[in-house]
Amino acid sequence: MSIQAKAQTDIPTERTVNPLWYKFHKNPLTIFGLCILLFFLLVSVLAPLITSYDPTKINITERFSPPSAKHWFGTDEVGRDIFTRIIYGARLSLGVGVAVVLSAGLIGSVVGAISGYFGGKIDQVIMRLMDIILAFPSLVLAMALAATLGPNLQNAMIAIAIVKIPVYVRLARAETLALREKLYVKAALTFGIPPWRIIARHIIPNAISPVVIQVTLDIGDAVLLVATLGFLGLGAQPPTPEWGAMISIGWKYLIDYWWYPTFPGFALFLASCGFNLIGDGIRDILDPKVNR
Amino acid sequence: MKQIIVKRLSLLVFVLFGVTLLTFFMSHVIPGDPARMMVGQRADEETLQEVRRQLGLDQPVWVQYFTYMKGLFAGDFGKSIRTQKPVMDDLVAFFPATLELALSAFVIALAIGIPIGVLAAVKKDTMVDHGGRLFSIAGVSTPVFWSGLIGILVFYKLLGWLPSGGRIDLHIPPPTRITGLYLLDSLFTGNWAAFKNSLWHLILPAFVLSFAQLAMVTRQVRASMLEVLGQEYIRTAMANGISGAVLLFRYALRNALIPTITVVGLSFGALLGGAIVTETIFGWPGMGKYVVDSIAYLDFPSIMGFTFVIAVGYVLINLLVDLTYYVLDPQIKE
């Protein structure tokens, strides 16, 4: 059974990997996006080697120093080095964005597979629940949820994951509806394999590719949402070096100490650009209309 | 057509019901003790019980929901903890400012986005096209709060062209309230000083808010123009000697705009989200700034009132967009 299931996934990949990579390669903007992300990855992994400052250590004598050779991006209201806080913040801001979308994708595909596989009342209830979540603009719902749960990073992550789940449920459900009719699923049923096992072993592994694509498209947006909640005071709390939280304090000092909110914002912009460039490239590759 | 409207409306009733369930759940069930939140940590047990009784929190959940619904139907969202006024009154007072900002951003996004999109499609794969693409990706990637800050730095601090925030200068009396939109009201009353001043205040926040949507419009117009330009009726029109602006705008753009309307309509939710942040940065006295100020106080009645109103508005706009789609595209008739 598993050999058959494996064959199902293997054949299309083998045929398409090379042309895909070719198209990916041909698109300079996508490569540029990839470079940006690699840069951030490298910087966040090597953070302690790049800077000798501590991201949270207070040094009041050097508060609000403008950018200089000593402090590349200046210092904040208690003299912490902003450059240091940004590169440590990269771990947090990007890591949280990726984690949120991955968990939303995972939960969404399981729920979607259950919904599509069983159909009937379960399906109705799940899909109507998703409709309700989609009735809210995502930032507004995330904000309300985060405020209700209490303002901290963990709750902000939960709130954003909830907002992101419906898309994955819909994707996985649509795939499952088609997979349910496949011969190998029916064969598994006749062998008396329980439904949860069929869903886990045969449905989800085969329904996963559109979900993976959506995940790559969503990360940029999630990173921005995390930072926006941080900016509104609903995400990571100071003194955590999260980009949104840094800007939420820094923007009040904008007129006199321009560097304080400007550099964390630029890092956020650059990272989000990287994710969106890659997402855009992937969309182009998968959209047959673009090639005409 | 009739069937579609009936079907959509019945779905609407259901979704609105769901929205009330979710906001009720968020305001009454998730927070451990709303009464404790209202009276604060230091209140004694007696006051707490009294508030609990007043709020009806000693009742079973379904009774609470029923009371909640009765309130909603009467337009009663409770009293704001921060302003001590009914939330509904607050929202009504702040709504026009948000509407003025969002509408202006919307108009800017369309007025700039459509021409750029057309240009990018006509000059496909040239520098113009690549530039347009980079521009639109930058638009989607820019956090609204950051573009707002950069806007203030450049246009207020560096150049001194535009004010850093607010809706109108303090020394200028706001126009007599007719619609609540300063631009319209000052036009109606012929108050030029107020008109000029409020326009001057509106420019920067409206541009900042429009940026992400502008990017989306550009991208969608480009994609659908490319598709339309490849179709046979365009070739026929060209063979008949129609070219240039007439071909592009009268023949191609009209059809290309149909999918654009959907995208733009759906992105209205993002616009509302963006308005929350933009209003905060620019001190724009709208619903968004109101809710952010309320968050700092954990003022739940106002947060939930805002959330509910926005969700209802969003659902209605989406319905409107769907219906326009059916009206505009004569091919969808069944």
Give the residue, A210 or A19, on which the prediction is more confident: A210
Pair A184, A202: CB distance under 8 Å: yes
- Cβ partners under 8 Å of residue A81, min gap 6: A51, A53, A55, A71, A73, A75
Instruction: For residue A93, name the pLDDT band (cuts at 50, 70, 90).
Output: confident
Pair B27, A148: CB distance under 8 Å: yes
Q: Do B14 and A147 touch (CB under 8 A)?
A: no
Give the residue, A120 or A54, on which the prediction is more confident: A120
**Torsions phi, psi of B282, nearest 5?**
-95, 10
Instruction: Kindly tell me if the per-residue pLDDT of A249 is higher than 60.
Output: yes
């904000």: which residue's tokens? Answer: A143
Instruction: Kindly tell me if the per-residue pLDDT of B334 is higher than 80.
Output: no
A 63-122: CB under 8 A from B = none
Q: Give the pLDDT confidence score for residue A2 in this predicted structure.
A: 47
Two tokens, residue A93:
């801001």
Two tokens, residue A149:
């749960």
Q: Give the pLDDT confidence score for residue B104 in this predicted structure.
A: 93
**What does the alpha-carbon distance between residue B228 and residue A89 come to, in Å, rounded to a whole number?**
45
A228 contacts in chain B (CB < 8 Å): 143-145, 277
- Cβ partners under 8 Å of residue A63, min gap 6: A75, A76, A77, A78, A79
Range of the domain at A144: 77-286
The stretch A36-65 carries a mean pLDDT of 83
Instruction: For residue B259, name the pLDDT band (cuts at 50, 70, 90).
Output: confident
Q: What is the mean pLDDT of chain B?
A: 83
Instruction: For residue A279, name the pLDDT band (cuts at 50, 70, 90).
Output: confident
Give the residue, B33 or B191, on which the prediction is more confident: B191
The stretch B261-281 carries a mean pLDDT of 84
**What does the alpha-carbon distance between residue A179 and residue A250 come to, in Å, rounded to a whole number?**
51
Q: Is residue A184 part of a domain?
A: yes
**What does the alpha-carbon distance between residue A71 and residue A31 come to, in Å, rounded to a whole number?**
31
Instruction: For residue B324, name the pLDDT band (cuts at 50, 70, 90).
Output: confident
Tell me the CA distances in angstroms from B283 to A49, B261, B279, one per residue in order.
Answer: 41, 31, 6
**What does the alpha-carbon distance between residue B331 and residue A211 come to, in Å, rounded to a whole number?**
32
pLDDT in tens, B131-155: 888 888 888 888 888 899 999 989 9
- Cβ partners under 8 Å of residue A37, min gap 6: A271, A274, A275, A278
Total length of chain A: 292
Q: Do A232 and B26 touch (CB under 8 A)?
A: no
A253 to chain B, any CB pair closer than 8 A? The answer is no
The stretch A142-155 carries a mean pLDDT of 89
Query: CA B226 from chain center: how many Å?
Result: 29
CA dihedral sign, ordered A192, A196, A200, A204: positive
Q: Is residue A62 part of a domain?
A: no
Tell me the CA distances in angstroms from B235 to B221, B231, B238, B328, one per residue in order.
Answer: 20, 7, 5, 23
Q: Is residue A124 part of a domain?
A: yes
Of A29, A132, A228, the CB nearest to B19: A132
Two tokens, residue A269:
């912009």
Q: Is residue A171 part of a domain?
A: yes
Instruction: For residue B16, name the pLDDT band (cuts at 50, 70, 90).
Output: confident
Q: Is residue A238 part of a domain?
A: yes
Q: Which long-range contacts (CB under 8 A, 24 or more apart) does B246-250 make?
A: B248/B118, B248/B122, B249/B118
Q: Give the pLDDT confidence score for residue B172 in this predicted structure.
A: 80
Give the residue, B254 or A152, on which the prediction is more confident: A152
Q: Do B140 and A262 touch (CB under 8 A)?
A: no
**Torsions phi, psi of A26, nearest 5?**
-70, -15
- Cβ partners under 8 Å of residue B260, min gap 6: B114, B217, B220, B221, B224
**What does the alpha-carbon distance between residue A62 and residue B222 come to, in Å, rounded to a whole number?**
50
Query: In angstroms, what separates the C-alpha of B183 from chain A's closest C-alpha?
Result: 27
Q: What is the DSSP string of B190-218?
A: T-HHHHHHHHHHHHHHHHHHHHHHHHHHH
Q: Is residue A133 part of a domain?
A: yes
Q: Is B31 helix (H, G, I), strand (E, B) or coil?
A: coil
Cis peptide before B173 (omega within 30 of 0): no
pLDDT in tens, A3-21: 554 444 444 444 455 566 6
Query: CA A214 from chain center: how many Å?
Result: 10
Domain total of chain A? 1
């560097």: which residue's tokens? Answer: A259
CATH of the domain at A91: 1.10.3720.10
Q: Is residue A134 part of a domain?
A: yes
Instruction: For residue A166, name the pLDDT band (cuts at 50, 70, 90).
Output: very high
B29 to chain A, any CB pair closer than 8 A? The answer is no
pLDDT in tens, B216-249: 888 888 888 888 888 888 888 888 887 777 788 7
H helix intervals, chain B:
2-24, 34-39, 45-55, 61-73, 87-122, 127-141, 144-151, 182-188, 192-229, 232-239, 244-245, 254-266, 268-282, 287-296, 300-328
pLDDT in tens, A45-56: 887 888 778 887
A292 to chain B, any CB pair closer than 8 A? The answer is yes
Q: Do A231 and B277 touch (CB under 8 A)?
A: yes
Enter the DSSP assignment of B162: S
Q: What is the ipTM for the molecules in this complex?
A: 0.84
Instruction: For residue A287, name the pLDDT band (cuts at 50, 70, 90).
Output: low
Q: Is residue A239 part of a domain?
A: yes
Give the residue, B90 or B59, on which the prediction is more confident: B90
Q: What is the amino acid identity at position B279?
A: E
pTM equals 0.84
Instruction: Kindly tell me if the per-residue pLDDT of B56 is higher than 90.
Output: no
Q: Give the pLDDT confidence score for residue A17 in this predicted structure.
A: 53
